[in-house]
Chain A
Amino acid sequence: MSTDDLKKTPLFDAHVAAGARMVPFAGYAMPVQYKDGVLKEHLWTREHAGLFDVSHMGQARLRGENPAKSFEKVVSADYQGLKAGKQRYGVLLNAQGGIIDDLMTARPDDDGLFVVVNGACKDNDYKIIAETLAGEATVERLEDRALLALQGPEAAAVLAAHVPEAATMVFMDAKALTAFGVPAIISRSGYTGEDGYEISVPASDAARIWNTLLEDERVKPIGLGARDSLRLEAGLPLYGHDLDETVSPIEAGLNFAVGKSRREAGDYLGADRIAKELAGELARVRVNLKVLEGAPAREGADIADADGNVIGKVTSGGFGPSFGGAIAIGFVPPAFAVIGATLKVIVRGKPAAAEVVASPFVPTRYVRKL
């Protein structure tokens, strides 16, 4: 695919000017890395602050009398119980309890719900959500907004210099406020395991805000390559790789995405399977693997038991720059998902030892209280 056929975010020119290598991703031309390269960008984010363009992701408003109630028919999270100023992770489910997409839903103000979904899934998501809400609530795609993520231990100090209110927020707070002179929606969250923010702003102001943040010497632009290695180290699954329409939230270890009240009510698509899995009927579960020898095990590599019998597959894997070695996420039957157990990953026909380890690979640094 030539980049001419791809959509561009409002920051396309800024990426090119900064020397980014642009690649097709979710139908957009996106920066996979800048001049420093994936390794340095990854480490910079863990030590300072990284700025990411995630404007390819879908942003939408759900409005109506009780949009959360309607939305809950197809998501297992407790969104009716979502308090004002908070955000909560959820999964959009099919009738078999498989994951159509994972998403974030916030109540940043009194204008319904604000939902952020994956770029590659957004058209299908909105169609399903619109059908689900039909007659009860509406879904409006916010095509005129960009989304920036500022992540890393210095992100809070950087953003507070421009948006003092950001310093009063904790992990998973989400607020509509005026920032950089424009209406913004800011959440204290992200996809790196670090403290940080996701900042929704009008597309027309995105480049100005991007450049303003980059004027701070603590901030560097970070591409999708490092975004992937950062989220992998943080043990965060990636849709289309670790999650798909056959995987349930329980298999994926996302039990927190099924609200307590929702488990009792069982009033959502796919609830039968999820109830069975919560009761212990599980065919496979997600594991984190530390590859003890040889090459990184990447997506598609087989996972075998000690005797060499294939028991599962790696769904994401690579080198963890902060972890300092090869790490992977995969799925195996529950009997093998024992922390400390040694399994094998098969890379280019060669078995290599891999240890089941706890998630995350690198400690997360979310700011849960001030």
Chain B
Amino acid sequence: MRFTKDHEWVAVEGDIATVGITAYAAEQLGDVVFVEVPEVGKTVAQGEGLAVVESVKAASDVYAPVSGEVVEANAELGDAPETVNAAPEAGGWFAKLKLSNPAEVDALMDRDAYEAFLATL
């Protein structure tokens, strides 16, 4: 799993990247009450808005940590947005992207680097 400074995570299998937000981000957001996931077929560039996650208080953008085409969105979040809080780095994933530039993944932080980054916040 790789991480961004915006607190997204990416897990890569072959050329498919699963994207979610980290436990730290979920905790900061508070109780998630609505998730807007992207449509399948949408192409996103690294850093572009991929999803929107809403807590009682506010809406927050989730940015694409890598570039690619959306091949699947997590439909279960429609009925169970709280999964983002319960299992942010597992069942609370937002979308799967077909990587258009796999090299982007290598440039992201690994777990140790992300933990070190969190310690600076």
Q: Which residues of A contact B (CB under 8 A)?
A: 32-33, 37-40, 42, 225-226, 228-229, 294-296, 298, 318-319, 321, 326, 348
**Which among A42, A318, A321 has the highest number of chain B CB atoms within 10 Å?**
A318
Inter-chain contacts of A39 with B (CB < 8 A): 30-31, 33, 56
Q: Are A38 and B56 in contact (CB under 8 A)?
A: yes
B55 to chain A, nearest CB (A): 7
Residues from chain A with Cβ under 8 Å of B33 in the complex: 39, 296, 319, 321
A157 to B56, CA, bound (A): 29
The answer to the question of B34 belonging to the interface, with a C-beta cut-off of 8 Å to chain A, is yes
Is the contact region of chain A dominated by helix, strand, or loop, or is it mixed?
mixed
Residue from B30, B36, B56 whose CB has the most chain A CB atoms within 10 Å: B56
Q: B72 interface residue, CB < 8 Å from A?
A: no
Residue from the list B30, B34, B54, B58 in contact with A37, Cβ < 8 A:
B30
Interface centre among A39, A226, A321 (most CB of B within 10 A): A39
Mark B residues whose CB is within 8 Å of A: 30-31, 33-34, 36, 52, 54-59
Question: Which A residues are in CB contact (< 8 Å) with B30?
Answer: 33, 37-39, 225
A296 and B35 alpha carbons, distance in the complex (Å)? 10
Contact with A225, one of B36, B52, B56 (Cβ below 8 angstroms): B56
- Interface contacts (Cβ under 8 Å), in number, total 45
B55–A295 CB distance below 8 A: no
Q: Which residues of A contact B34 (CB under 8 A)?
A: 295-296, 319, 326
Q: A295-B54, A319-B34, A348-B52 are in contact. List 14 more A-B contacts (CB 8 A).
A: A37-B31, A38-B30, A38-B31, A42-B56, A225-B56, A226-B56, A229-B56, A295-B52, A296-B33, A296-B54, A296-B59, A318-B56, A326-B34, A348-B36
Q: Which of A40, A42, A319, A321 has the most CB of B within 10 A?
A: A319
A-B pairs, top 6 by smallest CB distance, nearest first, are A39-B31, A319-B33, A38-B56, A37-B30, A225-B57, A319-B56
A318 to B57, CA, bound (A): 7
Q: Which residues of B contact A38 (CB under 8 A)?
A: 30-31, 55-57
Contact between A298 and B56, CB atoms less than 8 A apart: no
Shortest C-beta distance, B48 to chain A (Å), equals 14
Give 10 pairs: A residue, B residue, CB < 8 Å, sorted on A: A33-B30, A39-B30, A225-B30, A229-B56, A295-B36, A296-B54, A298-B58, A298-B59, A319-B56, A348-B52
Cα of A293 to Cα of B16 in the assembled complex, Å: 31
B33 nearest CB neighbor, chain A only: A319
Tell me how far the C-beta of A245 lies from the nearest C-beta in chain B, rounded to whole angstroms.
Answer: 25
In the bound complex, what is the Cα–Cα distance between A40 and B85 (angstroms)? 13
